[in-house]
């Protein structure tokens, strides 16, 4: 492909591309805006660590950051051991004060992880006996009832499959048994609250995932969740495109297991650490990957119900520690490039009523969305090492272009616009197809 592109560059060849929404795509998607049917969230850590977080999470500050991003969800831990006290008393304790404050603020829809054993309950890590599962279900019921007014979504455990590598009790069979016990308890306590199963961590070859899906667990769930990371793959694979490819494969598996091509899927963790080690990426790559993922998600909203970017802020100050460097904001709460990239990509696409992905020559990606104000077109290079230019051939005198983190927009008519891994954002008032010339950058 590179030799072809070099040849095209020498010959200054431009491709004519027509970009527009097909009738089938427009009919397949609802007229509701994206932000009313899709959740874009961040991972936070209010539920772990007690009243004062060693990770630096402070509800008043973090609530403000969520507002700045304009997103509509957050995901956090709701640990059993801190919610149930001695004698079976259930409720928020000082240990969960920060989580309580963030939930009750109403800043965004809470997606809460029901998880972890309890020191007073034998065989509870994981629940592997009928009695332990009964006690866990009682906690899940009380937890659901306590926050029902905030329209929560619940997730059953976190990365159960990773624990299975070291402990046979974390089997697909025990997970199914827990789901059977928890689902009716949650539904009785908070009838409108979805229960999501999975929270599947890295699973090469999908072996554990296949066992889980084949167990029949989806009968006891309103959705299934997965975590998608690639930061320790080869540098060329640390992209949103690789995440999308694996998510698409997961969607096929879930569709087959459930018999439903729109069975709800949630990506409850995805992110790229900006650590200064061999698995880290630079801040621009983190920003570009996150913006691309947000924009692409608009095309899959018939089955993809949400993405939670990991995480809101850095959890430490060691620049070589991966776990310290996933944040959209730094440990001192100053924003990384990813913060404005996510904010602006979401603002660009959140009002869309339908969207479609189109692959262009040379691995260029385009997302075409219809909004009440006209078309929104996002274009980027799928290969960070390749750059292109595009020019409107359609008459669109009111069209403008810009990019995430750049408040200024410019007229898009009669200009060649640069395409890199940072999404190019084009707004056009027309509802018809738009023609482009696309060429490698000179």
Same domain, 264 and 212: yes
Examine the domain organization and report whether 17 and 42 are in the same domain: no
- Claim to verify: residue 79 and residue 139 sit in the same structural domain: yes
Integer CA distances (angstroms), 392 to 48, 127, 380, 408, in order = 51, 59, 15, 19
CATH number at residue 376: 2.60.120
Is the pTM here over 0.75, yes or no? yes
At 255-314, the pLDDT tens digits run 999 999 999 999 999 999 999 999 999 999 999 999 999 999 999 999 999 999 999 999
Rounded distance between C-alpha atoms, residue 368 and residue 349, angstroms: 10
Over the stretch 105-164, which tens digit does the pLDDT of each residue have? Answer: 999 999 999 999 999 999 999 999 999 999 999 999 999 999 999 999 999 999 999 999
Tally of residues, the chain? 442
Q: Is the bond leading into 126 cis (omega within 30 degrees of zero)?
A: yes
Q: Note whether 141 and 239 are same-domain residues.
A: yes
Look-up: residue for tokens 């009832």?
145
- CB 407: neighbour CB atoms within 10 A? 7
β-strands 424-428, 417-419 pairing: unpaired
Q: Describe the strand order of the beta sheet including 388-392 as a list of residue ranges.
A: 15-19, 434-440, 388-392, 417-419
Checking if the pLDDT of 11 tops 90, the result is no
Q: Give me the pLDDT at residue 18, please.
A: 65
Same domain membership, residue 344 and residue 363: no
Same domain for 230 and 379, yes or no, is no
pLDDT for residue 359:
84
Q: What pLDDT is stored for residue 141 in this prediction?
A: 98
Strand order in the sheet with 424-428: 354-360, 364-371, 374-381, 424-428, 400-403, 406-411
Domain count, the chain: 2
Which of 318, 350, 382 corresponds to the end of one domain? 350
Beta strands in 229-353 (DSSP E): 265-270, 304-309
> What's the confidence (pLDDT) of residue 28?
40
Token pair 């990770």 in the structure block, residue: 55
Q: Is the pLDDT of residue 25 over 70?
A: no
Q: What pLDDT is stored for residue 247 in this prediction? A: 98
Residue with tokens 């395409």: 419
Q: Which helix (H) or strand (E) holds 52?
A: none
| Residue showing tokens 């087959």 | 256
Same domain, 391 and 251: no
Going by their DSSP bridges, the two strands 304-309 and 354-360 should be labelled as: unpaired
Q: Indicate the angle between helix axes 207-214 and 172-189, nearest 10 degrees.
A: 50
Please check whether residues 244 and 339 belong to one and the same domain: yes
For 164-206, where are the alpha helices, taking DSSP H only?
172-189
pLDDT at 13: 55
Domain that holds residue 366: 2-26+355-440
Q: Do 155 and 50 belong to one domain?
A: yes
The pLDDT assigned to 256 comes to 98
233 and 190, same domain (yes or no): yes
Do residue 276 and residue 167 come from a single domain?
yes
**Is the distance from CB of 209 to CB of 250 less than 8 angstroms?**
yes
Confidence of residue 432 (pLDDT cuts 50, 70, 90): confident
Cβ density class 309-323: b for 16+ within 10 Å, e for less? bbbbbbbeeeeebbe
Q: What is the distance, to the nearest Å, from the Cα of residue 158 to the centroid of all Cα atoms in its chain? A: 15
3-class secondary-structure state, position 187: helix
Of 305, 335, 350, at which residue does a domain stop?
A: 350
| Mean pLDDT computed over every residue of the chain | 93
Cα(204)–Cα(320) distance, integer angstroms: 25
42-78: pLDDT as tens digits: 999 999 999 999 999 999 999 999 999 999 999 999 9
- If asked whether residues 200 and 293 sit together in one domain, one would say yes
Of 350, 382, 398, which one is at a domain's C-terminal end? 350
């Amino acid at each position: 492909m590179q030799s072809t592109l070099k040849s095209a560059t020498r010959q200054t060849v431009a491709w004519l591309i027509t970009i527009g929404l097909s009738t089938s795509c427009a009919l397949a998607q609802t007229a509701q805006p994206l932000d009313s049917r899709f959740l874009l969230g961040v991972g936070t850590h209010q539920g772990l660590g007690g009243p004062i977080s060693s990770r630096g999470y402070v509800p008043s500050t973090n609530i403000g950051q969520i507002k700045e991003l304009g997103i509509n969800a957050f995901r956090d831990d709701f640990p059993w051991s801190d919610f149930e006290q001695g004698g079976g008393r259930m409720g928020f304790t000082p240990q969960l004060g920060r989580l309580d404050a963030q939930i009750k603020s109403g800043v965004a829809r809470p997606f809460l992880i029901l998880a972890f054993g309890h020191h007073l309950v034998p065989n509870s890590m994981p629940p592997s006996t009928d009695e332990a599962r009964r006690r866990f279900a009682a906690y899940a019921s009380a937890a659901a009832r306590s926050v029902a007014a905030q329209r929560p979504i619940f997730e059953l455990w976190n990365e159960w499959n990773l624990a299975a590598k070291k402990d046979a009790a974390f089997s697909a069979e025990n997970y199914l048994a827990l789901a059977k016990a928890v689902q009716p308890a949650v539904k009785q306590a908070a009838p409108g609250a979805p229960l999501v199963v999975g929270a599947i961590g890295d699973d090469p070859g999908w072996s554990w995932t296949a066992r889980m899906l084949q167990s029949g667990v989806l009968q006891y769930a309103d959705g299934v969740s997965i975590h998608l990371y690639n930061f320790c793959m080869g540098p060329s694979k640390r992209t949103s495109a690789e995440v999308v490819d694996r998510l698409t494969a997961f969607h096929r598996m879930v569709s087959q297991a459930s018999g439903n091509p729109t069975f709800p899927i949630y990506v409850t963790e995805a992110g790229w650490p900006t650590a200064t080690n061999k698995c880290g990426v630079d801040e621009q790559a983190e920003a570009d990957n996150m913006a691309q993922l947000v924009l692409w998600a608009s095309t899959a909203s018939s089955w993809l119900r949400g993405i939670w970017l990991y995480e809101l802020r850095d959890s430490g100050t060691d620049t070589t520690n991966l776990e310290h460097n996933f944040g959209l904001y730094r440990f001192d709460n100053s924003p990384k490039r990813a913060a404005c990239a996510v904010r602006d990509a979401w603002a660009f696409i959140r009002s869309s009523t339908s969207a479609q992905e189109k692959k262009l020559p040379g691995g260029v990606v385009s997302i075409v969305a219809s909004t009440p104000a006209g078309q929104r077109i996002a274009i980027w290079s799928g290969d960070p090492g390749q750059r292109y230019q595009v020019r409107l051939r359609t008459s669109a005198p009111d069209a403008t272009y810009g990019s995430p983190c750049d408040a200024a927009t410019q007229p898009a008519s009669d200009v060649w616009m640069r395409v890199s891994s940072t999404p190019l954002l084009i707004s056009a008032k027309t509802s018809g197809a738009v023609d482009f010339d696309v060429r490698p950058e000179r």
